[in-house]
């Protein structure tokens, strides 16, 4: 390669870089959202616990709280346009900028992360395949299910996970395999099976409004690991940081014992330097993200810490935190440090 | 063949060629894009899932090919049982329809009109979601003689396990079958054609059943000697285990498909019998044949010739309807192969091709068998 | 009295049979009437109006009636469905009137116009009409649309296939026969799965075809094969003399076929075509397995709503759907029987 072609290659590289930088600066997601005055948040409709509409017509759920978290960080207020998406449309909508973030990005796996041109913003939930059983069967743990008849839905990896788990533990079961989740759950409800297996938290959501919910028990154990994370576009690192650290605020708040109710008092009285940095008393951390310094304060004020979210969305469904407890309580969640 | 015809054929060949080429090209491109490595090797991979009803041993470590065989056997079992039930019910309905008892014939007609005009899938749903779901729970099962149990998990009946002695059983059955065959031939020679129409033909039956009784005794004795054991369903923590289990999905499919298709068979049987000229009955009557024998020896064989061709269509339709099992959770070919296995390996082209081939092949077998049978009975009557 | 004796009590066996039947009617009928009418709940339209979980629950049908009819079609746009189906029924009426002039033209018009009406009215998306995606089509509306669409698209194809199967050119004959027999020996469900799972692989990536359209295409392929057999049977019943006479007049193949043979074959094939159509009508329920909610699918999904979930409710729902299907199929089958009688009268007249 001669000198001129190297030069021209460098030049074109520079041009591209400048162009990319200009693009990023000019059309950064944060600026777009600010200009619009609203966050566009992709949601899945009617998945109780994650996203549903309450009796007063308000959207509620774990995913909705994620949307609110980002909105609180940017605006210090809830200004959201919810965009219902389906699994087929979500990728195009994110790529084309129709939505800014998709909280229900499901399992963070290699293929999804690497091949879709999208980025994940940190695990916010450890889901997994779990079981619901009738209380009167006296099944209290997975080991008690030896010999049971189990209702299950086709597809994904549900059928394999359960076969692997039972054969690894030398247990037997009889599957009754339905084409979709609701049919399987309905069959379990009609006592066709001793247990029903599916993703644990969504099962909890689906059975929440059963008239005899109390007669059913969701086992604490899971037989697969499904770390859930939110999705954003890959080409805007600043935006990804905002999402990642906003989500992280809620873990940090829980570790520091800051919640929706005490956030104002803690902000005024806490002598802890990290808490002061988190709540924007010192350090100017918000500015470094392009946000106001009290961004985290607004998140905690409007959404609360991780435990607040859990108590609001999943606790009423009768699900304990299990793996989703803070590391201090033997769970997997631990806040990244604010320093 | 004219020049124009040849030109047409060449043109047709060309069009087919182009279409196949285009479709194959696009398909290959699409598969490559999706990263699907198209190969039939997936059949020999580990299945990794369980099947709820299996007639041959199968577990998660078996191959996918074996899963396919399990599913196919389930389809065939469902088809065979439904065809037998539908035929018996249809025959009864058809004969009831012909009865000179007004009420009986009206009831049969009503049955046909009601059940024929309701989609079979709806009937299956009704039996599955309404009737079988309201059966009592396992702990409050309906029991018969303390060995047959019916509850919302299915019908549990005792099974016979042969243990080590099964070759003896097979040998005994073969021997018994051979003897019956031999005796039947002897009998037929004794009661050659002229004797058959004698009024005392009635003797024919007791003789045959007497022989059968002896044979049944011999087989039974051998079965007991070979150490066969009756396995009675017993209650465990999760419902009944042991014996033969008929899952509710299977039961509702059998009931739904039989009741639906029996309406068609009933009509076919009726038109088969009405197609026989009155003279045949009158001739039999004048020979003094009792009514039962008239039906068995004179009317039925003739009606059969009219019945078999349309019956073939009904049997084929019934066989195809077994695929409706995919709507409830009975593990047959469509549900296991197109559902579970396709989700697992993502080879839609091969999976659909194999599934279609299976249906085409079995449909062909049913059609060929019934055509052969039709030819056979047609011939015996003519000669 | 005499009638009773002759028809019910003519022999001891008959008497026993009659009594048995009466017993059967009482044993099955009384609880049924009890459940369906006397114990049933008739008023109201909420789950609370059916406190007993096992009794028939008509409020359920009342509450979900619109869904059973229109699926999830937007409430404000439902007049389009009514208008469209009204137009279709109006245009089909002449076919049922004997001796209506120009029936053939009406048939051709219907075959072209029905899919157009469907696309323009039901889909919308132009002028003032909002676009209604096919995903929200459902209920009885979907059942009717599917049956009529498939009928009007499969008939022309069936005519060609039948002619091909009777053709004098060996390759055409073999191809048509293979094609027809292939699809006829495969269940409708499998054909639908081919359309849903496999068809997208056959098409270029950019070409995305709507799920409903794919399903309709699959049913068209299937139905055209069954219809082709009906028409072939009729074609073979036309005396050879008709072909020869037409040929002697110097008519070409297409003229011969469309002016002489088909007009005679069609009335003969009509009873079989009608009964195929009844079969198609019942077969549309299979759509629910691939996630398109026809009448039965709607009933099923409504009955699995946790608010309603109970044996009485699902039984009532299925019964309602059964009644609907039964009414349509029964009247069509009566019509078909009438056609058959007419055709046989025609035949004996023509024969004499």
* CB of C286 less than 8 A from some CB of B: yes
C144 min Cα distance to partner chain A (Å): 26
* Residue C48: inside a domain: no
- Using an 8 Å CB-CB cutoff, list chain B residues near C190: 323, 334, 338, 352, 355-356, 359
Residue B142 CA to residue B155 CA, distance in Å, equals 10
As a whole number, the mean pLDDT across chain C is 84
Asked if B121's CB is within 8 angstroms of C190's CB, the reply is no
Instruction: Compute the average pLDDT of residues A17-33.
Output: 61
As a whole number, the mean pLDDT across chain A is 84
* Residue C64: inside a domain: no
For residue B152, give the chain A residue with the closest CA.
Answer: A192
pLDDT score, position B1? 64
- Using an 8 Å CB-CB cutoff, list chain B residues near C170: 9
Residue to mutate among C56, C190, C198, C208, with most B CBs inside 10 A, is: C190
List the chains bordering chain A where 3 or more Cβ pairs fall under 8 Å.
B, C
pLDDT score, position A62? 93
Answer yes or no: is pLDDT of A303 > 50. Answer: yes
Residues of A with CB under 8 A from a CB of B: 137, 147-149, 151, 154-156, 159-160, 162-164, 166-167, 173-179, 183-184, 187, 190-192, 194
Asked if B52's CB is within 8 angstroms of A175's CB, the reply is yes
B52 min Cα distance to partner chain A (Å): 5
In terms of pLDDT, which residue wins out, C35 or B228? C35
* Residue C205: inside a domain: yes
Same domain? C187 vs C290: yes
ipTM attached to this prediction: 0.89
* Residue C294: inside a domain: yes
Of A155, A164, A190, the CB nearest to B343: A155
Question: A-C interface: how many C-beta pairs under 8 angstroms?
Answer: 10
Answer yes or no: is pLDDT of B59 > 70. Answer: yes
Confidence of residue B359 (pLDDT cuts 50, 70, 90): very high
CA distances to A211, C67, C300 from C75, rounded to whole Å, are 30, 10, 21
Tell me the pTM. 0.81
List the chains bordering chain C where 3 or more Cβ pairs fall under 8 Å.
A, B
pLDDT score, position B208? 54
Residue C258 CA to residue C247 CA, distance in Å, equals 13
The two tokens of residue B257 are 């498909």
pLDDT score, position A101? 93
C-alpha B379, offset from chain centre: 26
* Among candidate residues C137, C129, C144, the one with its CA nearest the CA of residue C280: C144
Category of B38 on φ-ψ map: left (φ > 0), alpha (ψ -120 to 50) or beta: beta
Asked if B23's CB is within 8 angstroms of C21's CB, the reply is no
* Among candidate residues C305, C316, C49, C283, the one with its CA nearest the CA of residue C143: C283
Instruction: Provide the residue range defining the domain that includes C117.
Output: 78-94+103-127
Asked if B125's CB is within 8 angstroms of C300's CB, the reply is yes
Answer yes or no: is pLDDT of C11 > 60. Answer: yes
A158-173: pLDDT as tens digits: 888 899 899 999 999 9
Residue listed under structure tokens 């065939």: B76
Of A179, A183, A210, the CB nearest to C306: A210
C313 min Cα distance to partner chain B (Å): 9
Same domain? C123 vs C237: no
B27 min Cα distance to partner chain C (Å): 5
Asked if A182's CB is within 8 angstroms of C304's CB, the reply is yes
A residues 202..241 contacting C (CB < 8 A): 209-211
Answer yes or no: is pLDDT of C142 > 60. Answer: yes
Number of domains in chain C: 3
A165 min Cα distance to partner chain C (Å): 30
pLDDT score, position B195? 44
For residue B339, give the chain C residue with the closest CA.
Answer: C193
CB A108 within 8 A of CB A229: yes
Distance between first and last Cα of chain B? 40
For residue B327, give the chain A residue with the closest CA.
Answer: A179
Residue listed under structure tokens 């092949």: B361
Residue listed under structure tokens 């004959």: C173
The domain locations on chain B are: 161-231
Residue to mutate among C179, C189, C277, C304, with most B CBs inside 10 A, is: C189
Asked if A183's CB is within 8 angstroms of B59's CB, the reply is no
- Percent of chain B whose predicted confidence (pLDDT) is above 70: 87
* CB of B286 less than 8 A from some CB of C: no
Superfamily of domain A14-127+226-329, CATH level 4: Periplasmic binding protein-like II (3.40.190.10)
Instruction: Compute the average pLDDT of residues A218-245.
Output: 90
C267 burial (CB, 10 Å; 0-12 / 13-18 / 19+) is: middle
Determine the angle formed by the axes of helices C170-184 and C139-165, rounding to 10 degrees. 150
The two tokens of residue B112 are 């046909």
- Per DSSP, chain A holds a count of helices (H) and strands (E) of 14, 11
* Residue C58: inside a domain: no
Same domain? C144 vs C194: yes
pLDDT score, position B202? 45
* Residue C55: inside a domain: no
Residue B328 CA to residue B319 CA, distance in Å, equals 17
Residue to mutate among B342, B356, B359, with most C CBs inside 10 A, is: B356
Instruction: Compute the average pLDDT of residues A13-34.
Output: 59
Same domain? C286 vs C255: yes
The domain locations on chain A are: 14-127+226-329, 129-218
Asked if C189's CB is within 8 angstroms of B326's CB, the reply is yes
Same domain? C341 vs C212: yes
Q: Considering only B80-94, B117-131, B203-217, which range has the smallest mean pLDDT? A: B203-217
* Residue C182: inside a domain: yes
C-alpha C106, offset from chain centre: 20
Asked if B103's CB is within 8 angstroms of C8's CB, the reply is yes
CB C14 within 8 A of CB B96: no
B163 CB neighbour count, 10 Å cutoff: 10
Same domain? C204 vs C281: yes
CATH of domain A129-218: 3.40.190.10
Answer yes or no: is pLDDT of C163 > 70. Answer: yes
C-alpha C278, offset from chain centre: 4
- Using an 8 Å CB-CB cutoff, list chain B residues near A156: 343
Same domain? C120 vs C211: no
B28-37: pLDDT as tens digits: 887 776 666 6
pLDDT score, position B379? 56
- DSSP letter for each residue of B182-216: HHHHHHHHHT-HHHHTSGGGGGHHHHHHHHHHHHH
Of A151, A179, A191, the CB nearest to B339: A179
Residue listed under structure tokens 């060629």: B17
Answer yes or no: is pLDDT of C351 > 50. Answer: no
CB C224 within 8 A of CB C154: yes
* Residue C316: inside a domain: no
A208 min Cα distance to partner chain C (Å): 10
A160 min Cα distance to partner chain B (Å): 5
């Amino acid at each position: 390669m001669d000198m001129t072609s190297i030069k021209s290659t460098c030049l074109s590289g520079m041009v591209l870089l400048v162009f990319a930088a200009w693009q990023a600066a000019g059309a950064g997601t944060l600026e777009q959202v600010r200009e619009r005055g609203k966050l566009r948040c992709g949601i899945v409709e009617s998945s109780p616990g994650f996203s549903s509409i309450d009796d007063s017509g308000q959207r509620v759920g774990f995913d909705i709280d994620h949307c609110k978290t980002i909105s609180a960080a940017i605006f210090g207020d809830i200004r959201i346009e919810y965009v219902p998406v389906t699994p087929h449309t979500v990728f195009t909508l994110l790529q084309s900028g129709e939505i800014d973030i998709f909280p229900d990005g499901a399992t963070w796996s290699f293929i999804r992360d690497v091949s879709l041109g999208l980025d994940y913003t940190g695990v916010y939930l450890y889901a997994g395949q779990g079981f619901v059983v009738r209380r009167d069967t006296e099944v209290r743990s997975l080991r008690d299910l030896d010999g049971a008849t189990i209702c299950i839905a086709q597809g994904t990896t549900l059928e394999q996970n359960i076969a692997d788990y039972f054969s690894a533990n030398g247990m037997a079961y009889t599957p009754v395999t339905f084409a979709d989740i609701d049919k399987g759950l309905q069959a379990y409800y009609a006592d066709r099976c001793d247990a029903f297996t599916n993703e644990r938290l969504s099962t909890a959501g689906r059975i929440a409004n059963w008239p005899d919910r109390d007669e059913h028990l969701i086992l604490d154990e899971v037989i697969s690991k499904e770390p859930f994370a939110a999705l954003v576009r890959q080409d805007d690192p600043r935006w990804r940081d905002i999402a990642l650290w906003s989500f992280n605020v809620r873990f940090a708040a829980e570790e520091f014992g800051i919640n929706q109710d005490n956030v104002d008092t803690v902000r005024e009285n806490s002598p802890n330097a990290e808490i002061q940095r988190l709540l924007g008393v010192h350090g100017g951390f918000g500015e470094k993200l392009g946000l106001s310094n009290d961004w985290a304060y607004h998140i905690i004020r409007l959404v609360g810490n991780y435990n607040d979210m859990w108590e609001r969305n999943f606790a009423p469904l009768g699900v304990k935190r299990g793996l989703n407890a803070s590391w201090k309580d033997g769970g997997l969640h631990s806040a990244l440090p604010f320093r | 063949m004219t020049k124009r015809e040849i030109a047409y054929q060449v043109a047709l060949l060309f069009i087919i060629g182009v279409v196949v080429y285009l479709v194959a090209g696009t398909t290959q491109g699409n598969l490559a894009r999706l990263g699907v490595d198209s190969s039939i090797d997936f059949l020999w991979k580990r299945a990794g899932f369980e099947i709820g009803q299996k007639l041959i041993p199968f577990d998660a470590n078996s191959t996918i090919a074996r899963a396919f065989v399990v599913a196919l056997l389930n389809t065939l079992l469902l088809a065979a049982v439904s065809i037998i039930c539908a035929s018996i019910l249809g025959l009864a309905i058809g004969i009831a329809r012909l009865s000179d008892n007004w009420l009986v014939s009206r009831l049969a007609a009503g049955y046909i009109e009601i059940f024929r005009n309701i989609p079979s899938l709806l009937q299956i749903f009704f039996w599955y979601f309404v009737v079988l779901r309201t059966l009592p729970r396992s702990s409050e099962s309906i029991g018969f003689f303390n060995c047959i149990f019916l509850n919302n998990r299915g019908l549990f009946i005792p099974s016979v396990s042969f243990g080590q002695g099964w070759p003896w059983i097979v040998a005994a059955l073969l021997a018994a079958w051979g003897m019956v065959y031999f005796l039947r031939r002897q009998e037929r020679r004794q009661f050659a054609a002229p004797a058959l129409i004698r009024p005392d033909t009635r003797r024919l039956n007791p003789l045959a059943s007497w022989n059968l009784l002896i044979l049944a005794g011999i087989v039974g004795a051998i079965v007991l000697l070979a150490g066969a054991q009756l396995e009675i369903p017993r209650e465990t923590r999760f419902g009944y285990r042991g014996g033969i289990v008929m899952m509710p999905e299977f039961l509702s499919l059998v009931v739904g498909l039989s009741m639906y298709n029996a309406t068609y068979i009933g009509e076919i049987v009726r038109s088969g019998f009405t197609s026989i000229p009155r003279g045949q009955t009158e001739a039999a009557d004048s020979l003094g044949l009792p009514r039962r024998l008239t039906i068995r020896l004179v009317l039925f064989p003739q009606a059969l010739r009219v019945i078999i061709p349309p019956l073939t269509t009904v049997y084929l339709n019934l066989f195809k309807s077994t695929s409706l099992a995919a709507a409830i959770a009975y593990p047959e070919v469509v549900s296991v192969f197109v559902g579970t296995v396709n989700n697992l390996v993502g080879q839609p082209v091969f999976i659909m091709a194999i599934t279609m081939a299976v249906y085409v092949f079995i449909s062909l077998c049913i059609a060929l068998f019934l055509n052969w049978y039709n030819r056979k009975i047609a011939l015996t009557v003519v000669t | 009295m005499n009638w009773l004796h002759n028809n019910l009590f003519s022999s001891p066996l008959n008497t026993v049979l009659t009594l048995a039947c009466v017993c059967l009617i009482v044993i099955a009928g009384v609880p049924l009437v009890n459940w369906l009418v006397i114990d049933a709940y008739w008023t109201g339209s909420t789950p609370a109006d059916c406190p007993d979980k096992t009794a028939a629950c008509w409020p359920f049908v009342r509450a979900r009636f619109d869904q059973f009819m229109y699926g999830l079609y937007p409430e404000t746009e439902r007049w389009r469905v009514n208008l469209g189906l009204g137009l279709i029924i109006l245009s089909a009426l002449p076919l049922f009137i004997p001796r209506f002039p120009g029936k053939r033209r009406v048939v051709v018009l219907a075959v072209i116009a029905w899919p157009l009406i469907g696309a323009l009215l039901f889909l919308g998306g132009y002028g003032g009409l909002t676009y209604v995606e096919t995903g929200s089509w459902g209920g009885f509306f979907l059942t009717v649309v599917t049956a009529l669409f498939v009928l009007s698209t499969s008939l022309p194809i069936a005519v060609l296939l039948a002619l091909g199967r009777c053709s004098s050119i060996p390759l055409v004959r073999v191809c048509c026969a293979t094609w027809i027999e292939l699809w006829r020996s495969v269940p409708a469900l499998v054909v639908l799965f081919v359309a849903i799972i496999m068809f997208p692989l056959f098409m270029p990536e950019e070409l995305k075809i709507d799920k409903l359209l794919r399903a309709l295409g699959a049913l068209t392929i299937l139905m055209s094969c069954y219809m082709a057999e009906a028409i072939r049977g009729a074609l073979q019943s036309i005396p050879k003399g008709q072909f020869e006479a037409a040929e002697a007049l110097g008519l070409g193949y297409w003229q011969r076929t469309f002016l002489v043979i088909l007009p005679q074959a069609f009335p003969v094939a009509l009873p079989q075509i009608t009964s195929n159509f009844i079969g198609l009508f019942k077969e549309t329920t299979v759509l629910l397995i691939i996630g398109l909610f026809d009448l039965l699918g709607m009933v099923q999904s409504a009955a699995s709503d946790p608010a309603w979930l109970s044996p009485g409710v699902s039984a009532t729902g299925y019964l309602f759907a059964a009644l609907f299907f039964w009414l349509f199929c029964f009247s069509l089958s009566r019509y078909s029987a009438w056609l058959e009688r007419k055709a046989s009268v025609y035949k004996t007249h023509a024969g004499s």
